Chains A and B, each alone.
Chain A
Amino acid sequence: MDRFSWTSGLLELGETLVVQQRGVRLIDGEEKVKFDSGVLLLSTHRLIWRDQKNHERCIAVPLSQIVFIEEQAAGIGKSAKIVVHLHPASSNKEPGPFQSSKYSYIKLSFKEHGQIEFYRRLSEEITQRRWESMPTGQAMQVNKDSQAGRIRAVGIVGIERKLEEKRKETDKNISEAFEDLSKLMEKAKEMVELSKSIANKIKEKQGDITEDETIRFKSYLLSMGIANPVTRETYGSGTQYHMQLAKQLAGILQTPLEERGGIMSLTEVYCLVNRARGLELLSPEDLVNACKMLESLKLPLRLRIFDSGVMVIELQSHNEEEMVAAALETVSEKGSLTADEFAKLVGMSVLLAKERLLLAEKMGHLCRDDSVEGLRFYPNLFLTQS
């Protein structure tokens, strides 16, 4: 920390602000010093730290003093840090908070994040070494007579103007974003209108629309996110994309299904697939549309929709009706079971356990007892004992 010098914190002429970050603590090597909560500014020439509570308390170090920098990832209860290795202080350095230090590096602790962006910018500045080609007002500071006062004033005004411009630009960026968004939406609206008129033509079978064109039209709708107004045909709302997706799913889900007794809820599938993809995730609708095509594509999985609306994927080889017979045995052994108890016994999710019991009930094997204590299933003695 002995490389730092006290400074006013104002940028010199020719010095530009690159990035700044609040909530940064300076650490001398491994020891905390009382520079805990400040704004860290990176300029083309220096690294400046200004105390958030006391703006007069401001120190800086020239970027030319930096040997190299490293990142230190955040830990439990610890903020992410950048380690800055420094050259020894030059003999004509301006006075600073420390005369000496046993460390030749400092750490910047980012308590309010921003470390990634700052590291990137700092790396850039160190590589580009812009301070070498942009002489700052320091040459003028050598002139310590009464003229210096006036030159400084010019400097301050110039800097204030720069900051004001930057503020305006940020505002402009935000309102520009909204403006551009409105314009974009206008164009999108035109697309929607166009698609409606095409859809109408298809419905009324005008204009010689071929099967091919219909398929292409569907994919246009998909790209735009427009609901398909054309009546369902063989593929439903599916498109080429969904067909491919269906084939992919068949490959991905084979093993997981076998591990889970041949059946998985669509929600589980959604999480599994998207977690595996990491990027370019599937929308829920994509998944449903693809699954609807599984059977028609003769793939080894199929989509099944229970009466309650719950959707599952099951292996073709899986026969829920056979599972019901096994379920009946389990329930009979225990006398009666709720969905929760059954799920625990068999090692299934409660959702699917419930569906199996409901199916068993539908097939007449089980009876329900619906009370304030919950829903409990009994073997259907009316059937077996009458």
Chain B
Amino acid sequence: QMSKQLDMFRTNLEEFASKHKQEIRKSAEFRVQFQDMCATIGVDPLASGKGFWSEMLGVGDFYYELGVQIIEVCLALKHRNGGLITLEELQQQVLKGRGKLAQDVSQDDLLRAIKKLKVLGNGFGIIPVGGTFLVQSVPAELNMDHTVVLQLAEKKGFVTVSEIRASLKWETERAKQVL
């Protein structure tokens, strides 16, 4: 029956936790490995704060707290950047907020935390641009057109109407709208 199996698993997890709980908190690399393995077998360790993973390994608290910090950073900077921030800057700002004694936070950590935040219906989005990502924190202001133009602009740092017309084959009006 399932409860017996569950208890056994719980014991195994406790054993693992007593030996390696530190690794999760200290090593970003370990976290990535851990998350990937969970994904492969179809388990989401971040689904609930009441899950075994969260309770015994403390994975949950790490990411949920990160979620709060991400929200706060985005809110604080929204007036300046309109709700769009690069993953790098987000990382810098979050690390600053966490203070000198806190653990390191990798970009992978941030992305995972954001993916979870989307559940709250707040319009958090991750847009791949160039080799990195933009994090969007305002709902639905960006549509596909905007995104495509942003990616185009990424290459040179700017974009003009004629460029857009040439590479995307849009009419002038559409290009101007997006800009």
Contacts and interface: CB of A to CB of B under 8 A. Distances in A.
A161 to B, nearest CB: 26
Interface string B24-42: 0000001001100110111
Contacts of A326: none
A181 interface: yes
B9 to A, nearest CB: 6
Interface string A350-386: 0100000000000000000000100000000000000
B53 A225 contact: yes
A204 B118 CA distance: 33
Nearest to A281: B64
Interface in B57-83: 60-61, 64-65, 67-68, 71-72
A223 B50 contact: yes
A275 B64 CA distance: 10
B67 A270 contact: yes
Interface string B104-136: 000000000000111111110000000000000
A7 B23 CA distance: 35
B43 A226 contact: yes
B101 A283 contact: no
Interface residues of A, number: 55
A110 B23 CA distance: 23
A116 B52 CA distance: 29
Contacts of B67: 270, 274, 284
Interface in A275-312: 275, 279-288, 305, 308-311
B167 interface: no
A144 B38 CA distance: 62
B50 A265 contact: no
A246 B13 CA distance: 28
A271 interface: yes
Contacts of A286: 48-50
Given A181-B34, A192-B43, A280-B49, 12 more contacts: A116-B101, A176-B19, A177-B20, A178-B30, A187-B9, A227-B42, A227-B47, A241-B48, A270-B71, A283-B48, A284-B67, A288-B120
A189 interface: yes
A183 to B, nearest CB: 8
Interface centre among B3, B19, B51, B179 (most CB of A within 10 A): B51
A182 B9 CA distance: 14
Contacts of B179: 372
Size bin of chain B's contact surface: 35 or more
A282 B13 CA distance: 21
Contacts of A192: 41-43
B44 interface: yes
Given A223-B52, A285-B48, A285-B116, A188 B41 contact: yes
A191 B6 contact: yes
Interface in A225-274: 225-227, 241, 265-267, 270-271, 274
A319 B44 CA distance: 37
Interface centre among A176, A178, A225, A274 (most CB of B within 10 A): A225
Given A195-B2, A309-B121, A224 B51 contact: yes
A346 interface: no
Given A190-B5, A194-B5, A274-B64, A282 B44 contact: no
A265 B122 contact: yes
B2 A177 contact: no
Interface centre among B42, B116, B117, B176 (most CB of A within 10 A): B42
A222 interface: yes
Contacts of B49: 280-283, 286
Contacts of A267: 71, 117, 120, 122
**B interface, over-half SS:** helix
A311 B139 CA distance: 11
Interface of B: 2-3, 5-6, 8-10, 12-13, 16, 19-20, 23, 30, 33-34, 37-38, 40-55, 60-61, 64-65, 67-68, 71-72, 100-101, 116-123, 138-140, 176-177, 179
Contacts of A265: 120, 122
B61 A279 contact: yes
A280 B23 CA distance: 19
Contacts of B176: 372
A280 B56 CA distance: 11
Interface string A123-145: 00000000000000000000000
Contacts of B2: 194-195, 198, 217, 220
Instruction: Give 7 nearest A-B pairs by CB, closest first.
Output: A311-B121, A281-B64, A284-B119, A267-B122, A189-B41, A266-B120, A225-B44
A192 B42 CA distance: 7
B15 to A, nearest CB: 8
Interface string A84-124: 00000000000000000000000000000100100000000
